[in-house]
Amino acid sequence: MRGKLSKMSEKRNIRDHKRRLLAAKYELRRKLYKAFCKDPDLPSDMRDKHRYKLSKLPRNSSFARVRNRCIFTGRPRSVYEFFRISRIVFRGLASRGPLMGIKKSSW
Amino acid sequence: MSFGSLKSLVAEAAIRGVTEARANIFGHVLNPTGQRSSHKILRKKLIGQKVAEWYPYDIKKDDPLVMARQEQERLNKLEMLKRRGKGPPKKGQGKRAAKRNK
């Protein structure tokens, strides 16, 4: 099923993947700087220095820039985090069977 | 009224003692005045690894033949379009770029 990957969604997914890798790489440092900035007990010039350093980190290493896309279609909206697929693909797959334990509910 | 305040004072002291002892035993970080502290940021777990593993690995990447064939197909398609005159325009000629440069 994953043989049919259109080109447009691939590009977006590649970009998002790059952002994820960067975010994972810089995460520790980022947290450290942020924590230092916000600590009220430190002297003000140290806090400014850390704030400056935090601003110098690459923008793509922010977690806010990462978006959970569907891994099949690249759809950025209505993607279930549990399956990592969008609602359309989910519906198709669930009816066909490969999703373990998913069936149409009626009660 | 003084009885009430005395009793509440004693109760407060007792509670404070208990919380301090608990923090001592279990290693909690106390903030009785509620000032801003960096503890809130530092106590969260690291999520970077999980975030980076969102997209599954494409097994087609392991086979260089398949990758070469796909790349060849892509180039063929591009060439076909160019032959028909439908390929991508030169730099500075696209719709938006032309509008900007005009």
Report the gap between the CA of B71 and the closest CA in chain A (Å): 12
How many CB atoms lie under 10 A from the CB of residue A89?
A: 19
Q: Please check whether residue A84 is in contact with residue A71, taking contact to mean a CB–CB distance below 8 angstroms.
A: yes
Report the gap between the CA of B26 and the closest CA in chain A (Å): 23
pLDDT tens track for B29-69: 888 888 887 788 778 888 888 888 888 887 777 888 988 99
pLDDT tens track for B66-101: 889 999 999 999 999 999 988 888 887 878 888 888
- pLDDT at residue A9, as a whole number: 60
ipTM of the complex: 0.71
What are the CB-based long-range contacts (under 8 Å, 24+) for B55-60? B55/A13, B55/A16, B55/A17, B55/A20, B55/A71, B56/A71, B58/A2
- pLDDT at residue A86, as a whole number: 92
Residues of B in contact with A38 (CB under 8 A): 36, 38, 41
Identify the contact set of chain A against chain B, taking CB-CB distances under 8 A. 2, 13, 16-17, 20-21, 23-25, 27-28, 31, 34-36, 38-40, 63, 66, 68, 71, 84
Q: What is the mean pLDDT of residues A3-22?
A: 73
Q: Where are the alpha helices (DSSP H) in B1-102?
A: 2-26, 39-42, 48-52, 64-84, 95-101
- pLDDT at residue B95, as a whole number: 83
Minimum Cα–Cα distance from B70: chain A residue: A3
**Which of A17-21, A55-59, B33-37 is modeled with the greatest confidence?**
A17-21
Average pLDDT, rounded, for chain A = 81
Kindly tell me if the per-residue pLDDT of A12 is higher than 60: yes
